[in-house]
Structure 1
Amino acid sequence: MKRNIYIKNTPLKEAIINFNQALDEIGYFCPAEEWIEVSQCLGRVTSRPVLSRRSSPHYQASAMDGIAVRAKDTFAASETTPVRLAENQYLMVDTGDYVPPPFDAVIMIEDVNFFGNEAEIVKAAVPWQHIRSVGEDLVAQDMIVPSSYRLGSYEIAALISAAVERVAVFRQPVVGIIPTGTELVASASPDMEPGKIVESNSYMLEALCREWGARAIRHSIVEDDWDKLLQAVREVEPQCDLLVICSGSSAGREDYTSAVIDHLGTVLNHGLAIKPGKPAILGLIGGKPVIGVPGYPVSAQLVFTLFAKPLLYRKQGLVVPDDEKLPCQLTRKIASPMGVDEFVYVNVAKIQDRYLAYPLSRGAGVSSNLVRADGVITISSGQEGVNAGDYSQVALMRPRHEIELSLVCMGSHDLCIDLLIDYLRRRHRIRLLSTNVGSMGGLMALMRGETHMAGIHLLDTERGSYNVGYVQRYLQGKNWRLINAVRRQQGLIVKKGNPLNITSLEDLLNPKIRFINRQKGAGTRILLDYLLKQAGLDPTAINGYNREEYTHLAVAAAVKNDACDCGLGIMASARVMDLDFIPLAEEQYDLCILTDLMPVDWVDMLMDALASAEFRENIRKMGGYNLELSGQIIAASLL
């Protein structure tokens, strides 16, 4: 089979117009309806108006517990001249009971005193008091809901009350999803071979289909083989309204998606001027649309949302609702190539009166970004990027109220932050956003007003103390507090059993030992440089000194996966990865706040969390921590 190595660069708007035009020409969007039981219609969309089959209520009903009376029998009643009604002048009723003629009013039971069979009242009733008239809710033939209306729980109750048993709805679109790739496996296992990838995109796309009112059919994984992919497409296509082929859309040696679509139908477009998602394919097979989505998760989600979502909504007689947009100030510059619409996922938080957007890493394969993202910024093809400090419209992916409750922590990373994320969300509904930029990066962000707090462990090599000197220097003239989170053991993380017998920093001078460092500005990097200087060791003699990672867990993972032999990090990270640890120093990890940036009640919640028995117990289990000062203010400005 001839390999397709040519991918176009079609502008997004042009591709959308051409795709929809091709579908209109074949009558793809002609509505198809079906009748279903009301009890099964949750989330379905009406294809025609639904009319009431009876009035509700269909009789004269009591709206209260009490007595039904003739209003004229009560006109003389007052506090000074009570009226007693004989047994034949009233009728005991409960809420919802039928009120028969000649009764035309209801008096609440708490306004009635009984003396034998007589009922005494002290206030006159007016005609039709506390009575629900026929058709008060709905009159027969009233329209309950119009067409193209998504039915919810309240509508179901109204339909049943109106004696509607079945409703006409647009037929639920069916999406066929075929994951492809010889490298894919159905589930993760501890002994997965290098190069194998867990197939998860089809599950994500299936869930998106459900969110958008469609039903999905997931095919089993198809390996990169022309005949097998051809067979799978022929099997799934007749069962669905939209066919999605996951992966195989690029121009690799075993990417057959475009060729299979061309063989069975028509390729309308291969290659979009978007980032991520460039290799996407749009086509037709058997009068149905086919979308070839790239294999990277972020690319797959974006392409599927851009093309499948409006298609599925339209098939159900709906229009895609507009995303809520929020103008946000960028915390750092985003460079973007001309000629491409780029979609950048961001976190969003409110600090004082500003909404800030924090760009996430831009790798198309970073699926965790989809979990973390609060919204997306679109950089149009005519822009070369967005500068730090500029405002951009963020299309929100998360409810606004969650963004309002976002507490930002930038700086150095520690595993205790993960515990705080869970604790604050469970106890206070506060969403803690942690960004690892190193201790100095956190202080600079605090100085710019871009974070509520900074996690720092900066060794003052002249004083031999942590953090205070740096904070005094960089936050001079500001009202700051240093809250201790933990004291922790820093040391060398090595493989289980320490096969290279590494015992000290001197061993790192062995050129056969591969080291991995932390990024410049990280407190761990400053500590390493200090210890090397104290020992009279040359950093440039260490194999890997300039190779960097951004978190303690990333360092431990690199050792675990044999990407290196050794790295400097905390004991807890070594224990999480089941590695050995050689302690070198105890350091202080503090949270620095500016009082004018962080609400007082959030500060109190943070300190309570750090001092709580639950937090302390969980952090002790990790090992390598000293909690003597946790939750205490250890230094503050004099302002």
Structure 2
Amino acid sequence: MTQRLPPSLTPLDTALAALLRGVDPITPVELPLIEAAGCIAAGGPLFAAWPPHDIAAIDGWALRANDLVGASAYSPLALAMAPVWVEAGDAMPQGCDCVLDADAVEMSGPLAQVLAEGVPGQGIRRAGSDIASDTTAGAEGHPVGLVDLLLAGVAAVDRLSVRRPRLRIVNVPDTTTTAHMIVGIARAAGLDVKTHQAAARDEASIADALDASSCDMLLIVGGSGVGRHDAAVTALARRGEMIAHGIALQPGRTAAVGRLGKVPVVGLPGSPDHALAIWLALVLPLVDRLSARRPRRQVTLPLARKIASSVGIAEIALLAEEHHAWMPLAVGEWPLQAIARADAWLLIPASHEGFAAGTLADAYLMREW
């Protein structure tokens, strides 16, 4: 059956500009390390150098390399004084610049013999080698990753300053699968997600669920079409401002954007592929604006074959990397198996008819959605 569409379609660029109008980055908050993972770093304390001084990297004997020249199992070198035993993490004794394994020194009463040479720095972590002085955890404007958390933990910092937009998701009945997908993606993107289930698919029930009092953005999942049981758009118009219903984007043509007070609202179609396309094209730019994220990384590869597109409507192509090239999997209409295989996505502007094979395409990675 042919999908019914809104009477007019708003160009994607126009809808996005209207959605972002007046939206500023939110105020940073300090979160415990485990909660800061995935959020966008907003500056933070400068770490002192770590280690603060040379430390032993292994358990063994602390020695000076210049004193060990020529030592071997065939020509043991007797030491005038017994070496100092150090454990991994201990500060290096004054004048010592290497650590030898336990079996490299033979102890016989007070007499010590070295059976191997050493080199300066062997078995040692130099001061500042793990963390340079004035390092911060997480580059400002970029997601806080596992390595950032490791650095913070080593530096004994237990909280990080981040921007973490608060997202409220209103789930219209019968779109549970799509809602679960969006919730998972949103949490992976570092958002503070709260969900609410509308009591029914009718306008009054959806309108009752539209509460923007404690969120920075609101998504309605499902009910954005023009079917007899689609009431999300009229519910939004009843409670707030409808900016556009019907976006010139495929997939995702029946989406809507609006506002509740100053809070931006996006109505996602109930179909998983259409909802995902709107997430990529409209919601991600909104998330990036609220969190002051730096531009997302694009990967440039040639197209393995031609992509054809219709002029007048923007389309998103799903791509897989094959033999150092982008292989188009689906354009405009996305089978679920294409979504599962996709490594990246490419937005084709409404003014383009597509791209010839061999064209260098700047695509966004799916794992960074």
Cα separation, 2, equivalents of 1:377 and 1:110: 59
Alpha-carbon offset, residue 308 of structure 1: 0.9
1:261 paired residue number = 236
Cα separation, 2, equivalents of 1:386 and 1:121: 69
Alpha-carbon offset, residue 302 of structure 1: 0.8
Written as runs of structure 1 = structure 2, the 5 A alignment for 1:280-299 is: 280-299=255-274
Deviates more, 1:374-383 or 1:42-51: 374-383
Cα separation, 2, equivalents of 1:145 and 1:121: 45
Alpha-carbon offset, residue 143 of structure 1: 4.0
1:137 paired residue number = 130
1:66 paired residue number = 60
Q: Aligned pair in 2 of structure 1 residues 248, 392: CA closer, same or farther (>3 Å)?
A: farther
Cα separation, 2, equivalents of 1:383 and 1:135: 52
2:201 paired residue number = 224
Alpha-carbon offset, residue 288 of structure 1: 0.5
1:153 matched to 2:146? The reply is yes
1:420 paired residue number = none
1:11 paired residue number = 11
Q: Which amino acid aligns with 2:312?
A: G
Q: Which amino acid aligns with 1:211?
A: A
SS of equivalent to 2:186: helix
2:183 paired residue number = 206
Percent identity reads 24
2:315 paired residue number = 342
Q: Which runs of 5+ in 1 are unaligned?
A: 185-197, 400-639
1:240 matched to 2:215? The reply is yes
Q: Which runs of 5+ in 2 are unaligned?
A: none
Cα separation, 1, equivalents of 2:359 and 2:68: 69
SS of equivalent to 1:239: coil
SS of equivalent to 1:216: strand
SS of equivalent to 1:290: strand
Q: How many correspondences in the alignment?
A: 362
Cα separation, 2, equivalents of 1:397 and 1:149: 15
SS of equivalent to 1:58: coil
Q: Which amino acid aligns with 2:50?
A: S
1:371 to 318, 322, 340: 340
Cα separation, 1, equivalents of 2:115 and 2:190: 57
Alpha-carbon offset, residue 213 of structure 1: 1.6
Written as runs of structure 1 = structure 2, the 5 A alignment for 1:52-451 is: 52=47, 54-69=48-63, 74=67, 78=71, 82-86=76-80, 88-101=81-94, 103=96, 105-121=98-114, 130-138=123-131, 141-170=134-163, 172-180=164-172, 184=174, 199-234=176-211, 237-330=212-305, 334=308, 336-345=309-318, 349=322, 356-359=327-330, 363=333, 366-373=335-342, 375-376=344-345, 378-383=347-352, 393=361, 395=363
SS of equivalent to 1:291: strand
Q: Which amino acid aligns with 1:177?
A: I
Q: Which amino acid aligns with 2:234?
A: A
Contact 1:249–1:281, Cα closer than 8 Å, also in 2: yes
Q: Relative contact order, CA 8 A, sep 6+: which one is greater?
A: 2
Q: Which amino acid aligns with 2:187?
A: R
Alpha-carbon offset, residue 279 of structure 1: 2.3
**Would you tell me which structure has more helix in proportion to its own residues?**
1
Alpha-carbon offset, residue 204 of structure 1: 1.3
Contact 2:198–2:205, Cα closer than 8 Å, also in 1: no
Alpha-carbon offset, residue 133 of structure 1: 4.5
Q: Aligned pair in 2 of structure 1 residues 150, 311: CA closer, same or farther (>3 Å)?
A: same
Q: Which amino acid aligns with 1:10?
A: T
Contact 1:276–1:299, Cα closer than 8 Å, also in 2: yes
SS of equivalent to 2:210: helix
Alpha-carbon offset, residue 371 of structure 1: 2.8
Cα separation, 1, equivalents of 2:97 and 2:342: 60
